[in-house]
Structure 1
């Protein structure tokens, strides 16, 4: 809490379901590409511990739901026993600081990297030319049977996350990945029960979330959403009402930076009874406004948290902010651009 008499909205306590948060500054999922061979590494212990606070809420970088759901090299997974075991000391490091830690789970769908996946669900490859040159894979629609396999992958990944010690899971349904591909009427051209109407385009997402809720409980489940649809207000309003019925803990909303702040938060707020997290390039002042005007309950800060491991403290004392170095965001180095951002100097801390 700030030393003056006026509380800073971002630093006020909040009860998110069973979790008592001491402040509303959330660390969101950020791909870091440092999980060699899709296995979380020991250097992640320090990275997450640096950013954990007592009563603070952190969400892990995206973890693949299966060996056929990979987008780029060195992203972590949560589908094997070895991966689950590798996550445990990382989770413990956050809990030792008093933090609450959720695992984001994802599946990139049609933008999977076929060189990593050889994914028969999405890709069908033309015969390779005789000169050995690469041929771009072609896309096909998933069958309903294949969709049920992916739903089960998500369910098992969520169970693995809880067994690894995570407090819950967030399902990535934004960023043009598989679930948003079903939402988006500019992408989804299916003519069966998964295409056409808003209800049909939301069906796959609700099957995934429903399976996970049945596995681990709705009070441990969040979902991240974007706005890629020609009628995003109607789609997100319907989806939010269905997520309320499922008892989902929170919705994490990514707002495009080129649109007015809190635009889509307002109609989601009217239809969703759980916690609402705002995301999308917020600064401290914008975050305080979102909280004070009840547009959101929590605000996530990506690049600011990446470059400032003690971000809540900096907000509290109005300390200077480190500048992020974009060139090292996805560097494979275990230290550079990862754990080497400095904390506050003693005169501020």
Structure 2
């Protein structure tokens, strides 16, 4: 309720309505939900977080299995991997992972097995980096720096080359081949990354994609690549093992869209018309733009909601939302804002800093603080495997 108070200078401005306080432990955060083939015990998701702990050959280091398994410590948790390259050409930055070589696949299988040993579930996020790669890094490997069009990134001197028709068809096949490798390694599914200015999003964005062929120009043509990737991967591994991540409002890496509603409603319409229900959609709220949230860039579209997508999707399958949530705000979102829909909430930085995050939220235990300075320490366990479990969690599991 909005209220007005009186001061010596006359009426004060109305105070903003306050959100009701909802106990996270008794909220829909802890209502089980079927997601694809998975029966999740709660709706707290560990989302993709690039943390540069892979070796120089883009292979997960052994200690990464502990990191992922710890965050799967409450049975029935959905754990999603960091973004993982679908080809060696897309391993475009130092210490980011690939899922291409036999060595890489074997390392990821150890991680998948560690998550499953905790009776939790595992999806692999897969991507191409496109012009978000480091040009000098690719040049040392003899790889082409490329994107949807020859439009450079801000503060990057190199101009990417426009991908050829043959290269576009190859990247579609790379997504298919990688999805098959993930399933062969025991993964429960794959999340296709079409967000935050990476390769598929570079095709989707009219600020980046200036093509005049069937892969650019119109709303339909700019969406063609992501839709063909989704359809091909679904055909290969099954729709209930496939998810899609989208960031409608993000300005990160300058991949903005002029007609956000038209572009994303077209994607939803085509997904509903051409493929069976996906395992889930993963959507980033306006408040979750990494350009502003993490790197201090400009904020755009604040105050706008994802409701138009959820209305169009109409509970075809669950939706994960990300947007800088804390336990209390997540509980409110599920009970109020998203109460009509099957929604889960991603906790990034807080899950990084709290391996027992689900346990802490259920029992009202104070959270560890995350240390941003250690987020991207390459090949280091500092700021990665050194965040402690709560004393309460350790006591319960010592008794068990």
Give the TM-score taking structure 1 as reference length. 0.90
Aligned-partner SS, 1:138: coil
Equivalent of residue 162 in structure 1, options 166, 183, 191: 183
CA offset at residue 141 of structure 1? Answer: 1.4
Could you say which residue in structure 1 is the equivalent of 2:97?
76
Aligned-partner SS, 2:391: coil
Equivalent of residue 268 in structure 1, options 306, 309, 325: 309
| Alignment partners' CA distance in 2, 1:5 and 1:221 | 29
CA offset at residue 176 of structure 1? Answer: 0.4
Aligned-partner SS, 1:30: coil
Is the 1:48–1:94 Cα contact (8 Å) retained in structure 2? yes
CA offset at residue 290 of structure 1? Answer: 2.5
Q: Does 1:120 align with 2:144?
A: yes
Is the 2:108–2:185 Cα contact (8 Å) retained in structure 1? yes
**Structure 1 residues 294 and 304, CA gap change in structure 2 (3 angstroms):** farther
| Alignment partners' CA distance in 2, 1:160 and 1:278 | 27
Equivalent of residue 319 in structure 1, options 343, 346, 365: 365
Could you say which residue in structure 2 is the equivalent of 1:303?
349
Q: Does 1:342 align with 2:388?
A: yes
CA offset at residue 260 of structure 1? Answer: 5.3
| Alignment partners' CA distance in 2, 1:346 and 1:44 | 24
| Alignment partners' CA distance in 1, 2:25 and 2:357 | 19
| Unpaired runs of at least 5, structure 1 | 124-134
Superposition map of 1:47-66 within 5 A: 47-52=67-72, 53-66=74-87
Is the 1:11–1:312 Cα contact (8 Å) retained in structure 2? no
What do the CA deviations read for 1:16-63 (whole angstroms, capped 9, x no partner)?
A: 122100000000000010110201111011101110021110100111
Equivalent of residue 268 in structure 2, options 223, 232, 240: 240
Superposition map of 1:115-194 within 5 A: 115-118=136-139, 119-120=143-144, 122=146, 136-194=157-215
Could you say which residue in structure 1 is the equivalent of 2:18?
none
What do the CA deviations read for 1:291-336 (whole angstroms, capped 9, x no partner)?
A: 2223551010100100011111111111101111011101024321
The farther-off stretch of 88-97 and 293-302 is 293-302
Is the 1:66–1:153 Cα contact (8 Å) retained in structure 2? yes
User: Number of paired residues?
Assistant: 334
Is the 1:63–1:76 Cα contact (8 Å) retained in structure 2? yes
| Unpaired runs of at least 5, structure 2 | 1-22, 148-155, 249-255, 288-298
Is the 2:47–2:81 Cα contact (8 Å) retained in structure 1? yes
| Alignment partners' CA distance in 2, 1:96 and 1:266 | 36
| Alignment partners' CA distance in 2, 1:229 and 1:181 | 10
Is the 1:244–1:274 Cα contact (8 Å) retained in structure 2? no
Is the 2:145–2:160 Cα contact (8 Å) retained in structure 1? no
Aligned-partner SS, 1:304: helix
| Alignment partners' CA distance in 1, 2:381 and 2:349 | 17
Aligned-partner SS, 1:336: coil
Could you say which residue in structure 2 is the equivalent of 1:17?
36
Q: Does 1:45 align with 2:65?
A: yes
Give the TM-score taking structure 2 as reference length. 0.79
Could you say which residue in structure 2 is the equivalent of 1:34?
53
Aligned-partner SS, 1:55: coil
Is the 2:81–2:122 Cα contact (8 Å) retained in structure 1? yes
| Alignment partners' CA distance in 1, 2:272 and 2:235 | 14
Structure number with greater Rg is 2
| Alignment partners' CA distance in 1, 2:75 and 2:378 | 29
